[in-house]
Amino acid sequence: MNTYKINKSSLVEHPVKTTPENVKEANEGLFRAKMTLPAAAKHCGMTQKEMKLTFFEYLKYNKPDYENND
């Protein structure tokens, strides 16, 4: 008996297909600090470890586009 009237089917998250567009959006969001790593990984349908490795590759081939005035 479910006393809280929770619909169990609404609690299930549907898998996200990993596409180059999703990965690009997530990497740009991480680079600009607009997304957290867990949110970016979920956006791409990846694990956090996969997203972290992908972001390190992104950093390797995309140099900073800002100046540090320190």
Does the structure show a pLDDT above 70 at 22? Answer: yes
Distance CA 48, CA 37 (A): 7
**pTM for this entry:** 0.77
Smallest Cα–Cα separation from 64: which of 24, 32, 16? Answer: 32
CA distance 57 to 48: 14
Give residue 2's pLDDT.
Answer: 58
For residue 60, pLDDT over 90 is answered with: yes
Residue 51 has pLDDT above 70, yes or no: yes
Each residue of 4-14: pLDDT tens digit? 788 888 888 88
Number of structural domains found in the chain: 1
Q: Which domain holds residue 53?
A: 19-61
Evaluate whether 16 touches 45 at the Cβ level (below 8 Å): yes
In a domain, 29, yes or no: yes
